[in-house]
């Protein structure tokens, strides 16, 4: 593992005005909804949606690892903004991997400048492919128009549903036995209803809501991929990698705060803080190497283990920040931001694929390998 790989996920410089805005408004983004309309335009102005997108397609070049690094950099300041970036950037990633070039050409320009918000509703698809739940949107052919399908169903949780304009990726099942597919659905599709924002305990400025679909028309023009079973595993390293960006940024920030607070009286914590930071650096290196050489696609268990490891490092880091800050961290007027990070960190283990889901999958695979071992 070269140092260039370990360094790829180091925090890149963020646009100064975005950094200031995030520092000043992280708590408002977490606890209220009044700034939710500004998140996407601010990140678009800072060029964040172009990172890791080829220049030929309007991006600023680089690759998925650069996009992960940008999510980590934002997550150091605000997990709400970073999670919005995750949803938006995931949708862009799906389009980059889509065989439907016309759809990519139609949607990408507006996504890159932030006039269209991108949302990823693929939790259901990921759980479906692991046998945890059935697909929640069904496509039925329209009887009198060939090639038109009507979609019915729901999506319980989707982030970055900007009421102004959004497009969401969703998995749908067909009644006629063809493989389940991944579709893009625009906010103005007839029959699509967005709920009010969900009443979240944190990340309230993230435009997170539910969607209901009643006879929503769809055709091949909106197909991101005709086979979810082929598509999801192919994009999984990028999507989980982008998710790991959330953990990396949040853990780094908590460790930095813990380091600062632990400088003198609580110096006993210093060693634990450095150990946690060093384990995080190792996990970052494994992630960037595994994405760069493709091994995390071929060996998904390693990716799952990394996602579990990073979630656990976030919990350790936030706890170290608490221990190092002591009672000051518990006072609102101390304005340390600890209470926000504590709430933000609750998202990390539950976002799909959740830590429970991944641990269950790994345990099941270990049991089945044991059963199939020659001397079992
Ligand atoms: C703030 C927020 C924003 C979100 N935004 C998005 C988004 O933009 N897009 C999106 O697609 N999703 C989004 N989600 C949804 C998220 O990814 C989860 O799907 C969601 O939290 C609900 O699933 P659950 O796993 O809690 O549900 P449950 O199905 O109730 O599961 C509870 C727990 O048990 C595990 N589990 C359930 N069944 C099994 C099983 N058979 N085997 C092993 N483990 C099992 C689950 O993984 C989970 O850990 C968001 C969630 C939150 C909280």
Residues 152 and 179 grouped into a single domain: yes
- 124 exposure class (CB count in 10 Å sphere: 0-12, 13-18, 19+): buried
Closest CA relative to residue 216, chosen from 193, 187, 190: 190
Q: Of 228, 263, 285, which one is at a domain's C-terminal end?
A: 228
d(CA 195, CA 74) in angstroms, rounded, equals 27
Residues 185 and 312 grouped into a single domain: no
Query: Is any ligand 1 atom within 6 A of the Cβ of residue 350?
Result: yes
How confident is the model over 151-168, as a mean pLDDT?
A: 98
Domain contains 12:
yes
Domain contains 374:
no
Q: What confidence score (pLDDT) does residue 264 get?
A: 67
Q: What confidence score (pLDDT) does residue 3 get?
A: 40
d(CA 51, CA 329) in angstroms, rounded, equals 35
On average, the pLDDT of the chain sits at: 93
CA angle 45–47–49, rounded 5-degree value:
110
Query: Is any ligand 1 atom within 6 A of the Cβ of residue 90?
Result: no
Residues 75 and 135 grouped into a single domain: no
Residue percentage of the chain with pLDDT more than 70 = 96
Q: What confidence score (pLDDT) does residue 335 get?
A: 81
Instruction: Render pLDDT for 101-157 as a digit per residue (tens, 0 to 9).
Output: 999 999 999 999 999 999 999 999 999 988 889 999 999 988 777 789 999 999 999
> 155 and 166 in contact (C-beta within 8 Å)?
no
Alpha carbon distances (Å) from 148 to 143, 215, 223, 352:
9, 11, 12, 31
d(CA 15, CA 308) in angstroms, rounded, equals 31
Task: State CA 363 to chain mean position distance.
Answer: 24
Query: Is any ligand 1 atom within 6 A of the Cβ of residue 347?
Result: yes
d(CA 119, CA 110) in angstroms, rounded, equals 13
Q: What is the pTM of this model?
A: 0.95
Instruction: Render pLDDT for 87-99 as a digit per residue (tens, 0 to 9).
Output: 999 999 999 999 9
Q: What confidence score (pLDDT) does residue 323 get?
A: 93
Q: What confidence score (pLDDT) does residue 368 get?
A: 87
Domain contains 283:
yes
Closest CA relative to residue 215, chosen from 164, 149, 125, 313: 149
> 118 and 90 in contact (C-beta within 8 Å)?
yes
Residues 140 and 93 grouped into a single domain: no
Q: Which atom of ligand 1 is nearest to the CA of 160?
A: 8
> 26 and 77 in contact (C-beta within 8 Å)?
yes
Within 8 A by CB and 6+ apart from 60, the residues are: 47, 50, 51, 53
> How many domains does the chain divide into?
3
Ligand 1 mean position, distance from CA 87 (Å): 15
Phi, psi of 157 (to 5 degrees): -140, 115
Instruction: Render pLDDT for 278-324 as a digit per residue (tens, 0 to 9).
Output: 999 999 999 999 999 999 989 989 999 999 999 999 999 999 999 99
Within 8 A by CB and 6+ apart from 208, the residues are: 157, 158, 159, 160, 161, 197, 198, 200
Which DSSP letter does residue 15 get?
Answer: P
Please give the residue range of the domain that contains residue 85.
Answer: 3-116
In DSSP notation, 186-206 reads ETTSTTEEEPSPP--SS-TTS
Q: Which atom of ligand 1 is nearest to the CA of 352?
A: 17
Q: What confidence score (pLDDT) does residue 12 get?
A: 67
Per-residue pLDDT for 68 more than 80? yes
How confident is the model over 58-64, as a mean pLDDT?
A: 95
Residues 130 and 235 grouped into a single domain: no
| CATH number of the domain within which 38 lies | 1.10.540.10
Q: For ligand 1, atom 44, which residue shows the shortest CA distance?
A: 357
Closest CA relative to residue 37, chosen from 210, 206, 208, 246: 206
Query: Is any ligand 1 atom within 6 A of the Cβ of residue 121?
Result: yes
Domain contains 376:
no
Alpha carbon distances (Å) from 306 to 210, 273, 283:
29, 19, 7
Residues 128 and 107 grouped into a single domain: no
Q: What confidence score (pLDDT) does residue 376 get?
A: 58
Domain contains 22:
yes
Query: Is any ligand 1 atom within 6 A of the Cβ of residue 357?
Result: yes
d(CA 7, CA 285) in angstroms, rounded, equals 8
d(CA 376, CA 372) in angstroms, rounded, equals 7
d(CA 300, CA 294) in angstroms, rounded, equals 10
**Tokens (6 digits) for 369:** 């390998």
Instruction: Render pLDDT for 332-367 as a digit per residue (tens, 0 to 9).
Output: 877 889 999 999 999 999 999 999 999 999 998 899
Query: Is any ligand 1 atom within 6 A of the Cβ of residue 210?
Result: no
Q: For ligand 1, atom 26, which residue shows the shortest CA distance?
A: 350
Residues 144 and 256 grouped into a single domain: no
Judged by phi (left if over 0) then psi (alpha if -120 to 50, else beta), residue 41 lies in: alpha
Domain contains 335:
yes
Radius of gyration of the chain (CA): 21
Instruction: Render pLDDT for 194-236 as a digit per residue (tens, 0 to 9).
Output: 999 999 999 999 999 999 999 999 999 999 999 999 999 999 9
Lowest mean pLDDT among 34-43, 170-179, 191-200, 207-216: 170-179
Q: Of 228, 255, 283, which one is at a domain's C-terminal end?
A: 228
Residues 65 and 127 grouped into a single domain: no
Domain contains 352:
yes
Domain contains 375:
no
| CATH number of the domain within which 330 lies | 1.20.140.10
């Amino acid at each position: 593992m070269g140092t260039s790989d370990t360094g790829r996920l180091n925090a890149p410089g963020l646009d100064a005005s975005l950094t200031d805005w995030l520092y000043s408004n992280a708590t408002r983004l977490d606890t209220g909804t009044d700034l939710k309309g500004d998140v996407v335009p601010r990140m678009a102005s800072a060029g964040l949606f172009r990172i890791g997108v080829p220049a030929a397609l309007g991006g600023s070049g680089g690759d998925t690892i650069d996009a992960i690094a940008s999510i980590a950099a934002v997550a150091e300041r605000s997990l709400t903004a970073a999670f919005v970036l995750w949803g938006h950037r995931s949708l862009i990633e799906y389009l980059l991997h889509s065989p439907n070039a016309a759809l990519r050409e139609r949607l990408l320009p507006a996504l890159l400048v932030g006039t269209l918000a991108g949302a990823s509703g693929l939790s259901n698809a990921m759980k479906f492919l692991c046998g945890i739940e059935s697909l929640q949107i069904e496509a039925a052919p329209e009887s009198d128009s060939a090639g038109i399908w009507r979609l019915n169903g729901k999506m319980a949780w989707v982030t970055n549903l900007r009421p102004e304009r959004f497009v969401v990726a969703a998995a749908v099942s067909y009644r006629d036995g063809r493989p389940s597919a991944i579709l893009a659905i625009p906010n103005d599709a007839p029959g699509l209803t967005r709920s009010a924002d969900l009443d979240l305990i944190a990340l309230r400025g993230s435009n997170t809501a539910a969607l209901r679909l009643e006879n929503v028309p769809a055709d091949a023009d909106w197909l991101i991929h005709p086979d979810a079973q082929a598509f999801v595993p192919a994009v999984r390293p990028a999507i989980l990698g982008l998710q790991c960006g959330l953990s990396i940024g949040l853990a780094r920030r908590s460790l930095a705060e813990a380091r600062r607070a632990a400088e003198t009286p609580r110096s006993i914590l210093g060693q634990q803080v450095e150990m946690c930071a060093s384990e995080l650096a190792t996990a970052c290196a494994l992630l960037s190497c595994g994405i760069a050489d493709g091994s995390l696609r071929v060996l998904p268990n390693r990716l799952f283990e990394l996602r579990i490891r990073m979630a656990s490092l976030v919990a350790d880091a936030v706890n170290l920040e608490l221990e190092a800050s002591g009672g000051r961290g518990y006072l609102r007027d101390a304005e340390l931001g600890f209470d926000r990070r504590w709430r933000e960190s609750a998202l990390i283990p539950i976002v799909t694929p959740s830590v429970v889901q991944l641990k269950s999958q790994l345990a099941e695979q270990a049991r089945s390998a044991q059963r199939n071992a020659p001397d079992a």
